[in-house]
C-alpha cells in the first residue's frame, strides 16, 4: 500500500509540473490557435536562468532564502522576456500567413533556442543546487513523500489558484477570455489584442519558468535538451485535457503524471517516454477534443 501511495504522490508531483508548462501551451492555443513549439525551450531557459543565478549567488555566499527568492524572480523575468521576444519575432509577422508558416517558424525557434543555450553554456548535465531544504517535520513520512514533492504540490496549487483568480477577475484576464472567444469581436469592443497576446505569452512563460525552477531542484540536474521532452509531455497533457481549456490542462497533466508514475512503477521504466507519446497519439486519433475541450466544428 505504501508503494501505491508513493507512486500516487510522485505522479501528482509530476502532474503538477506538467500542469505549469501545459498552461502556457493551452493559453496560447486558446488565443491565437498556435502550438507554441518553443514553449518547452522557454521552460528550459527558466531552469537555466535560475541555475545560473542560484549558483552565482551561492558562490558569493548569499543565504539560502535570498537565493531561492532571487533565482525564482530572475527565472520568471527572463523567461517572460524570452516568451515575449519569441512571439514578437517569430509569430507576430505571421499572424495572417497560412497555417503551416507559424508552425515551421515555431519549430525553428525551438531548435534555435536549444542550440543557443548549448553554445552559450554547455552540453553537459549540470548539477542544480538543492534549493528546497529537507524539512524536519517531514521526517516520519520521508519514505513516501520528499520535502521537494510537498513544496512542488503546494506551490503549484497556489499558482493555479492565483491564475484562476487573475483570469476571472482582473481586467487583462477578462480581455484574455474575450480574445480567446472571438478575436475580431474583441477588437471591435476596444481590446488591444496585440497587448493581450503579449500578456498571454508573458504569463505562460513565467509559469513555465516556475515549473523549470521546481523540477530542476527536484531532479537535481539540468541540460540544454530538457525542454524538448518536457514540452512534448506538457503538450500531451494539454491535448488530453482539451487544448484551450485551462482546467482541462490541469486535469490532463494530473492524469498524465499519474499514468506515467504507475506505468513506470508497475510495468517498466524503459518505455516511460513511449507511454506518453502513445497516449498522445491515441487521444489525438480517438478524441481530439480532449477530456474537457469543445468539439471543433468548422462551417464553410
Residues near other proteins (CB under 8 A) are 34-35, 45, 48-49, 51-53, 55-56, 59-60, 74, 78, 81-82, 85, 89-90, 93-94, 97, 99-105, 107-121, 126-129, 228, 232, 235, 239, 270-271, 273-274, 277-278, 280-281, 284-285, 288, 298, 300
Nearer to other proteins, 143 or 299 (CB): 299
**Do the beta carbons of residue 282 and residue 273 sit within 8 Å?**
no
Can you tell me the distance from the alpha carbon of 215 to that of 221, in angstroms, rounded to the nearest whole number? 9
Tell me how far apart the alpha carbons of residues 6 and 288 are, in angstroms, rounded to a whole number: 32
Q: What is the largest CA-CA distance in the chain?
A: 64
Distance of CA 296 to the CA centre of its chain: 24
Minimum CB distance to other proteins smaller for 8 or for 277: 277
Q: Smaller CB distance to other proteins: residue 170 or 221?
A: 221
- Output the smallest distance, CB 167 to other proteins, in A: 24
Minimum distance between the CB of residue 171 and other proteins, rounded to whole angstroms? 26
- The least distance separating other proteins from the CB of residue 94, rounded to whole angstroms, comes to 6
Closest to other proteins by CB, 57 vs 199, is 57
Task: Tell me which DSSP letter residue 264 carries.
Answer: I
Cα 15 from Cα 228, distance rounded (Å): 17
| Nine-digit cell string for 106 | 515555431
Q: Which of 51, 35, 228 is nearest to 122 (CA)?
A: 51
State the minimum distance, in angstroms, from the CB of residue 122 to other proteins: 8
Give the single-character DSSP code of 222. Answer: E
Q: Which residue, 59 or 188, has its beta carbon nearer to other proteins?
A: 59
- In the complex, least distance from residue 127 CB atom to other proteins, rounded to whole angstroms: 5
Amino acid at each position: 500500500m505504501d508503494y501505491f501511495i508513493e507512486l500516487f504522490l510522485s505522479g501528482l508531483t509530476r502532474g503538477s509540473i506538467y500542469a505549469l508548462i501545459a498552461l502556457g501551451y493551452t493559453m496560447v492555443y486558446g488565443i491565437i490557435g498556435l502550438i507554441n513549439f518553443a514553449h518547452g525551450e522557454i521552460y528550459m531557459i527558466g531552469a537555466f536562468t535560475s541555475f545560473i543565478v542560484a549558483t552565482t549567488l551561492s558562490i558569493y555566499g548569499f543565504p539560502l532564502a535570498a537565493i531561492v527568492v532571487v533565482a525564482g524572480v530572475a527565472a520568471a523575468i527572463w523567461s517572460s522576456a524570452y516568451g515575449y521576444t519569441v512571439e514578437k519575432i517569430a509569430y507576430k509577422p505571421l499572424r495572417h500567413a497560412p497555417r503551416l508558416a507559424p508552425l515551421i517558424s515555431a519549430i525553428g525557434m525551438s531548435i534555435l533556442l536549444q542550440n543557443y543555450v548549448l553554445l552559450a553554456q554547455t552540453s553537459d548535465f549540470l548539477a542544480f543546487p538543492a534549493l528546497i531544504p529537507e524539512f524536519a517535520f517531514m521526517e516520519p513520512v520521508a519514505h513516501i513523500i520528499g520535502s521537494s514533492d510537498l513544496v512542488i504540490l503546494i506551490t503549484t496549487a497556489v499558482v493555479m489558484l492565483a491564475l484562476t483568480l487573475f483570469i476571472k477577475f482582473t481586467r487583462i484576464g477578462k480581455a484574455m477570455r474575450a480574445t480567446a472567444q472571438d478575436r475580431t469581436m474583441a477588437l471591435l469592443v476596444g481590446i488591444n489584442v496585440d497587448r493581450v497576446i503579449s500578456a498571454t505569452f508573458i504569463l505562460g512563460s513565467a509559469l513555465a519558468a516556475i515549473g523549470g525552477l521546481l523540477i530542476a531542484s527536484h531532479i537535481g540536474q539540468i541540460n540544454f535538451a530538457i525542454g524538448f521532452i518536457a514540452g512534448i509531455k506538457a503538450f500531451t497533457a494539454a491535448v488530453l485535457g482539451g487544448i484551450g481549456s485551462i482546467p482541462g490542462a490541469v486535469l490532463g497533466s494530473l492524469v498524465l503524471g499519474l499514468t506515467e508514475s504507475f506505468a513506470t512503477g508497475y510495468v517498466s521504466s524503459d518505455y516511460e517516454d513511449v507511454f506518453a507519446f502513445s497516449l498522445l497519439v491515441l487521444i489525438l486519433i480517438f478524441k481530439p477534443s480532449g477530456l474537457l475541450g469543445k468539439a471543433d466544428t468548422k462551417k464553410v
